[in-house]
Amino acid sequence: MIEARALRKVYKNGAKELEVLKGVDLKVGRSEILAVLGPSGAGKSTLLHLLGGLDSPTAGEVLIGGTDIYALGDRERARIRNTKIGFVFQFYHLLPEFDALENVMLPLLIKGEGPAGLRERGAGLLKAIGLEGRMNHRPGQLSGGEQQRVAIARALINAPELLLCDEPTGNLDSESGENIIELLWELNKSRKMTLIIVTHDAQIAKAAQRVLHIRDGRIIN
């Protein structure tokens, strides 16, 4: 499904360089659930951003379905990102002036798709994740767990093959976090979706099919 080869990322600040990733190799199969663990500053989020085409590596390749996304132009890489990949972050990044349904619909509205059928599609996703009665509530009227569910529904609106999650339970209480884990695992099962989850959550690591540890920019197992 996705592969990283000799992936490096160096940030420059004047004459100083900070090497965050130091030649990471990684393969994740279709429908696999992979948890990536490591201390703060290890390079976990940077790795996730590079896998999702949100940043550019200093060196190395990221292949999705056999295609090196960084050998493509910006437009084609954006097309792959918008059609094959969903993103879920620790902080939900919902627009406060929009209700839950409007937030879910937003990625496709930005792409220029008309509202015809889109409301039904977004409502179906919210119903599927247990928020049928909260569609017209704005983020400030939702709990943290509900906001994260809305963010997950938004990530699913493009029917991605790959879901990248950066600390999806990190801003939640333990009960809400467990509910999010259950939801992600159900999505993996029902939609055959590949999950890569950057986390500090031991419950996620315990339940994942495979766990990789990253430290000082390198995979250590």
- Token pair 């938004």: residue: 154
Residue 23 lies in a domain: no
Is residue 65 in some structural domain? no
Instruction: Calculate what percentage of the chain has a pLDDT beyond 70.
Output: 99
In a domain, 138, yes or no: yes
What integer pLDDT is reported at residue 102 of this predicted model?
Answer: 92
Structural domain contains residue 15: no
**What pLDDT sits at residue 113?**
72
Q: How many CB atoms lie within 10 A of CB 129?
A: 20
Could you tell me the strand order of the sheet in which 2-13 lies?
Answer: 16-28, 2-13, 59-64, 67-68
Q: Quick check: is 191 in a domain?
A: yes
Q: Is the pLDDT of residue 118 over 90?
A: no
Q: Is residue 64 part of a domain?
A: no
- For a pLDDT cut of 90, what percent of the chain falls above it? 55
* 1 belongs to a structural domain: no
**Residue 21 domain flag:** no
Are the C-beta atoms of residues 111 and 189 closer than 8 Å to each other?
no
> Is the confidence at residue 62, as pLDDT, over 90?
yes
User: Containing domain of residue 90, as a range?
Assistant: 28-56+73-219
Over the stretch 73-99, which tens digit does the pLDDT of each residue have?
A: 999 998 888 888 999 988 888 999 999
Count of domains forming the chain? 1
Q: What is the CATH number of the domain that holds 33?
A: 3.40.50.300
User: In whole angstroms, what is the distance from residue 194 CA to residue 33 CA?
Assistant: 6
DSSP E strands: which ranges in the chain? 2-13, 16-28, 33-37, 59-64, 67-68, 85-89, 162-166, 194-198, 210-215, 218-219
131-168 residue pLDDT tens = 889 999 999 999 998 999 899 999 988 889 999 999 88
Tally of CB atoms within 10 A around 77: 20
- Band (pLDDT 50/70/90 cuts) for residue 114 is low
Q: What is the mean pLDDT of the chain?
A: 90
